[in-house]
Each structure stands twice: as structure tokens, then as C-alpha cells.
Amino acid sequence: MGMRLVSLALLIAAWYVGSQLAGARLLPDPQAVALAIVDEARSGALAFNLGATLARVAVAFVIAMALGSLIGLIMGRSRIADRLGDPWLIVLLNLPALVIIVLAYVWAGLTETAAIAAVALNKLPIATVTVREGARSLDHALDDMAQVFRMGAWTRLRHVVLPQLAPYLAAAARSGLSLVWKIVLIVELLGRPNGVGFEIGVAFQLFDVTRILAYALAFIAVMLAIETFLVQPLERHVARWRPRPA
Amino acid sequence: MSPAGARGRLDVNIKQKSFRAASGGKLHVLGELVFSLRSGELAALVGPSGCGKTTLLRIVAGLDRDFDGHVAIPAHGTLAMVFQEPRLLPWRTVEQNVRLAAPRASDAGLEMLFQTLGLEAHRDHYPGELSLGLARRVALARAFAVKPDLLLLDEPFVSLDDALAARLREELAELVNRRPVTTLLVTHNVEEAIGLADRLLLLSIGPARIVADVAVARPRAAHTPAELAALRHEIARRLNQPFSRENL
Ligand SMILES: Nc1ncnc2c1ncn2[C@@H]1O[C@H](COP(=O)(O)OP(=O)(O)OP(=O)(O)O)[C@@H](O)[C@H]1O
Ligand SMILES: [Mg+2]
């Protein structure tokens, strides 16, 4: 904890020095950015835009994780499904995010649905590949055990399969969360009338670096909070059975 | 035979079973293996290491369908198996492991089972926190909790200390006497087989065949040294080919 504070203090000091060297127009100092954040918060714009972005992140993330996990599980368990799905995966994995976003807006209009579908589609193949890896490494011995004791499909999924997939799901969720929020900002910049990405787009046109930094920092703070208070406790809970090293 | 008797019957009729080796070739593991167990009968499969005992149990359990012949297990019956290694779910506690396999087991029944197997203090432990001997006992508890119609035991008492193994054998004998269950018990230990089984099926190695089918006169009763000697003599006489003698 102490080291983290030192590291943070060093960062802010470096920022301050940098702003003195580069000038306030290119890199405003920390105090100016902090004041901008307070201003945006007072007017309610900050909460509104953060809320809009977070809602998109949440919906796209949930859709991509659910679909990706399901497809990954099926592909990891069935050779035919794997052969059928693999070329699609490779295409999706190599399609630039920007292409998917632009095509979604062209085909479905500048709508919320298009925006969320584009983000989810960007994240989907990575979740699929990760979970497929997990499904391939499922323990056959435990499968046999479940079959001998005639465990039902739900019991097997919940108590035999999911705990084995948990580390893979956690990895997919972690990398997914950071990917999704970055892509959501681009989607907002290109075709939404609100959200952090939209605000940054406006600030860019006005060359308002202070506002860009204010929104970026506020959003990073929110994502850090989610990581610390949601993702990490969840990971600890899921791994509670692992014997701790003495 | 009464309907109840027919329900617990096990018929094994295997023509042959072979594995494809990774290097190509075929490994002929089981030869012609034909035997039946009456409902409630406990047979011990005794054979040298690697002769195909686990393979046979897996076929009977329906885990391996790639063989010539057929196996009829008790219809609609429940099945329980103690695998050669414990095979517990590492992310569930001892009690959850048992309850997931035996969702209909009563609290009182489990209480008694945990008590007899000395697992009382470990109900809330995870398998990673157990010694191998304790984990084996959990696997036994899981199998008994199911109250199965067919029980498959793959060397359930190895790696337990002598006193505990003896106690668990008594426990199994008592459970079987109280509620007869058709049981296949795999073991290396002829002493154990004689002490528990109604019948001994002695297997030869590569490919496995039944070389002797020996009935135990008064199963699960204390045998006098003279009776034991006679049984051993009988086993030795029926074995028409070299067989691990260290346990005989
Ligand atoms: N999946 C498999 N693929 C190829 N060969 C196998 C496979 N499973 C078992 N075998 C071979 O079949 C033979 C019988 O194996 P099995 O595990 O049934 O023996 P076992 O009698 O249970 O031995 P042990 O007493 O040591 O447990 C062995 O030679 C083994 O190498
Ligand atoms: Mg074996």
C-alpha cells in the first residue's frame, strides 16, 4: 500500500513537471484537471456521461461473455462444432474493431443496438477462444464420476464444469472488461450523442486537453473501483477452496 | 427367482476388449469374460496389477462402451463406484461431495456414515486439506450414501493403515449384511477377498480371463485357520497358471 502511494505521488510529480515543460495548452497540470472534474461533476454532466458509458460497457460485456462462454464450451467439447466454428473465429479475431463498428453503424444505423452489438462482437471471439481452451482441459475423470453417480445436467454444469472453467472465465472477464470499455469509447465517438467517448470527441474538436484528461481519469477511476471491489473479491471467492501456500 | 432378486442381477458377457496403443498396434486387455452375480452377491475380482480389473469395472459402469459383448446391470438401479483414486470435487467440501452424489440421502443417514468412517471432524474441509487415506474414506462415504443397487469398488482399502482398513472392511461387511447389494470388489489382497466376498473370481493376465471361480462357504464370518488354509489350498489348486503368490 505504501509503495503504491509513493508510485502515485511520483506519477503526479512527473505530470506536473511535464506540464511545466510542455505548457498548459498541451498538458494542463494536475490541479487544472482536478478542477475540471469537479466542474463537470457539479453540472451533472460527468455522472450522466459516465452512467451512459458504464451501461453500454455492462450490457456489451454481459452479452459477449455469455455468448462467448457458451460457444467456447460447445466448441471445446465437440470436435464437429470446433471445426465448423473455427474459421468464423479466425475471421472475427482478425477483423479490426473499427471495421466491425463502421459496418454495424452502416447496416443498423446510428442506434444503441448497433453500438452494443459492435462492441459485443469485438469481444466475443476472445471470450470464446479462452473458454474453449478451458473446456478442452476439463478433467475426464470427474466427468466419469458424475456419470456414474447419475448427476443431472444442472448439477454437472454448476459443480463439475463451471469450477474448472472459473480461471478461464476470470481471465476472459478481466481482459474483456478492459477491451470492452476501450471499444465503447470509440463507438461513442463515432456514433452516439452522449457518453465519455462522445465528450472526448467534442473536447478533441475544441482542442480541450483538460476536458479530455478529466473524463479519461474519471473513467479510469471507476474501472479501477470495479476491479478492486467487484472483480478481485469475486476471484477470491471462487478460489476459496485452493489450499493456501503455508 | 423373485422380482427383487432379478432386479439386482448383474450379467457380464464380454467377448474381448482391446485398446489402440498410441504407437499403433492393439493391446488385447480382456479375453472372454463371462460371469453373473445374483442380486446381493458380493464377488471379489482378484488379479495381478495391469491385468484389466479397472478396465472391466469401467465397462460394467457404462463408462467404456467400446468392447465386444454386452453387460446387463440392474435395471433402473442406482450405481455407485469407488474409483482407484478418490476423485472428489476439489472445490466442494467433504459433505457437499457426498450430498451431490447422493441428493436423496437423509441427514441422519449421513451423520451415521460420517461417524463410522471417522469423517465427523472433516465435513467442512476441502479435499485439498485431506490426507489420501481421508480422501479415500470420503469416496467410500459417497458410494455408501447412494444406497446403490450395484456397487463397484476398485481397491478401496489400499493406502489406509491396517487398523483402519480392517475397520472399514468390517463396516463394508456389516453394510452388505444389513442391506445386500450386488458388489464387485477389486483387490490384490486374497485375505481381504476371502473376508468379504461370497465368491472369488481369479483373473489371469493378458488378456484377462477368469481362471477360477471359488465360493466362500460362510461369507463375512470369522474363518478358522483350518478353513482359511483349505480355501487357500483350493485357490492354489484352481489356479492353472502362474499367479502372484505373495498374497496367497
Ligand atoms: N485408455 C487406455 N489406453 C490404452 N491402454 C490402456 C488404457 N487403459 C488401460 N490400458 C492398459 O490396459 C491394461 C489393463 O489396465 P487396467 O487399468 O484395467 O489394469 P488393472 O488391473 O486395474 O491394474 P492395477 O491393479 O494396477 O490397477 C494395462 O496394460 C493398461 O496399460
Ligand atoms: Mg486398476
**pLDDT 10s digits, B111-163:** 998 998 889 999 999 999 999 889 999 999 999 999 999 999 999 988 788 88
Report how many domains make up chain A: 1
**How far apart are alpha carbons B37 and B44 in whole angstroms?**
11
Q: Is residue A5 assigned to a domain?
A: no
Assess whether pLDDT exceeds 70 at residue B6: no
Q: In 10 A of CB B15, how many CB atoms?
A: 13
Q: Is the domain of B141 the same as that of B154?
A: no
* pLDDT, mean of residues A110-134: 95
Q: Which numbered atom of ligand 1 lies nearest the CA of B203?
A: 21
The predicted model scores a pTM of 0.81
Q: Is the domain of B173 the same as that of B229?
A: yes
Residue B23 Cβ inside 6 Å of ligand 1? The answer reads: no
Assess whether pLDDT exceeds 90 at residue A139: yes
Q: Is the domain of B35 the same as that of B106?
A: no
**How far apart are alpha carbons B120 and A130 in whole angstroms?**
40
What is the dihedral sign for C-alpha B78, B84, B90, B94? positive
Report how many domains make up chain B: 2
Mutate to test the interface with B, among A148, A151, A235, A244 (most CBs of B within 10 A): A148
* pLDDT, mean of residues A65-70: 95
Q: Is the domain of B142 the same as that of B193?
A: no
CA of B211 to the centre of ligand 1 (A): 19
CATH of the domain at A144: 1.10.3720.10
Q: Nearest Cβ partner of A149 from B92, B101, B128?
A: B101
pLDDT, greater one: B161 or A10: A10
Quote the domain boundaries for residue A202: 47-238
CB B145 within 8 A of CB B102: yes
Q: Is the domain of B71 the same as that of B154?
A: yes
B142 → chain A, closest CA residue: A149
Q: Do B83 and A149 touch (CB under 8 A)?
A: no
Q: Where does the pLDDT of residue B66 fall: very low under 50, low under 70, confident under 90, or very high at 90 and above?
A: very high
Q: Is residue A105 assigned to a domain?
A: yes
Quote the domain boundaries for residue B131: 90-147
Q: Is residue A37 assigned to a domain?
A: no
Domain finish residue from B147, B165, B183: B147
CA of B60 to the centre of ligand 2 (A): 14
B129 → chain A, closest CA residue: A243
Q: Is residue B3 assigned to a domain?
A: no
Q: Is the domain of B153 the same as that of B230?
A: yes
Residue B224 Cβ inside 6 Å of ligand 1? The answer reads: no
CB A141 within 8 A of CB B83: yes
CA of A208 to the centre of ligand 1 (A): 72
Going by C-alpha positions, the residue among B39, B46, B54 that lies closest to residue B176 is: B39
Q: Is the domain of B167 the same as that of B74?
A: yes
Assess whether pLDDT exceeds 90 at residue B234: no
pLDDT, greater one: B175 or A179: A179
Q: Is residue B248 assigned to a domain?
A: no
Q: Is residue A23 assigned to a domain?
A: no
Domain finish residue from B123, B147, B171: B147
Q: Is the domain of B136 the same as that of B23?
A: no
CATH of the domain at B42: 3.40.50.300
